[in-house]
Amino acid sequence: MISNNILEIRALVFKRKDILLHLGALGLLLILEFFGYFTDYHQGNFARILVLAAYGIGYNVLFGYTGLLSLGHALFFSAGLYASGLSIYHLDYNVGQSLILAIFISAFVSLVIGYLALRTVGVSFMIVTLMFSQVAYLCILYFGGVTRGDEGIVIQQSSRVFLSLDLSNPTIRYYSALIIFSLCLIINLWIAKSSFGRVLIAIRENSDRALMLGYNVHLYKLFSVIISGTISGLAGACYGILFGYVGASFAAVPYSIFPLLWVLIGGAGTVLGPLVGAIFMFYLIDYASDITDAYMIIVGITLLMVTLFARRGLLGELRYRYFKWIP
């Protein structure tokens, strides 16, 4: 009887090991903070990384699963960032109200941009998304009387309170970032395991074949853009609220390139890939900048080596070579 129970448990673990992997990753992030393994420095870094990894998850939905390469995702990130920041700064919204507004604004912007950009394919799609992003960036600068342009907006500590919790407190900020990341991770995991996600992968691999099988490829791509943009906008809104700053630099081209790098380094189409990539990139830049002022040379060489020897990304290579079950 005992041996049968052990076999049943082992079978269940083997069947659900993908779920256990992601629960273990979230549990590790919780334990490191709860038991004080983080120094103040790394606590702040990881709070920032978790929010940026949530942004990377949004990008991964579009690029990693659907195969659409966007060079303008900073538009969605900044849409949520400015929707929450401006509503708090100008309209005295509380955190909850500003987050709800940011989600709706991000979803609407994603719908409009997706509807227009998906009239193109391939390189044209990349260029169109980049153009829309640059238009948004220039609008932020042009309407500096409202957005404060390059100077940006500082969200006061008194405005960064949610359910009586001070989000400027480093510990509460970390747990808040972990909750946001966990929510986005769960959404991504659901997509990866669902029939919807399998259709997106089919479109990524061969959109013509998916169309011949009767799937509305355009509609699936549009849903992918909306989900991706909304997650990215939510990450942007949380970034502004948790770290108290909203600036035009977050709408510039680098913040469209960063999520692409995180996803490529971690592994496109893997659920934990954006987190792995964000951690790798953040600390690579951090430690390289301590060594030399020309740290981008070190970063560039390292990224080149990763690209040459781990073409599928760090987690993607592990999945390809050893652990086929990793979603």
The model's pTM: 0.92
7 domain residue, yes or no: no
pLDDT per residue over 26-75, tens digit each?
999 999 998 888 888 899 999 999 999 999 999 999 999 999 999 999 99
pLDDT at 6: 52
Query: Is the Cβ–Cβ distance between 58 and 80 less than 8 Å?
Result: no
pLDDT at 18: 83
Where in the sequence is the domain holding 317, given as residue range(s)?
A: 27-321
pLDDT per residue over 76-129, tens digit each?
999 999 999 999 999 999 999 999 999 999 999 999 999 999 999 888 999 999
Number of folded domains that form the chain: 1
pLDDT at 3: 54
Work out the end-to-end distance of the chain between its first and last CA atoms, rounded to an integer number of angstroms: 34
Which whole number is the average pLDDT over 145-149? 89
Q: What percent of the chain has pLDDT over 70?
A: 95
17 domain residue, yes or no: no
Is the pLDDT at 224 greater than 50? The verdict is: yes
**For the domain that residue 217 is a member of, what is the CATH number?**
1.10.3470
Q: What percent of the chain has pLDDT over 90?
A: 69
290 domain residue, yes or no: yes
pLDDT at 11: 46
Is the pLDDT at 300 greater than 80? The verdict is: yes
4 domain residue, yes or no: no
Kindly tell me the burial class for residue 114, based on how many C-beta atoms sit within 10 Å of its own C-beta (0-12, 13-18, 19 or more): buried
CA–CA distances in Å: residue 155 to residues 68, 85, 87, 90, 146? 34, 7, 11, 11, 14
Helices and strands per DSSP (H, E), number in the chain: 15, 4
10 domain residue, yes or no: no
Is the pLDDT at 1 greater than 70? The verdict is: no
7 vs 160, residue with greater confidence: 160
Which whole number is the average pLDDT over 9-24? 70
pLDDT at 2: 54
Which whole number is the average pLDDT over 183-189? 95
20 domain residue, yes or no: no
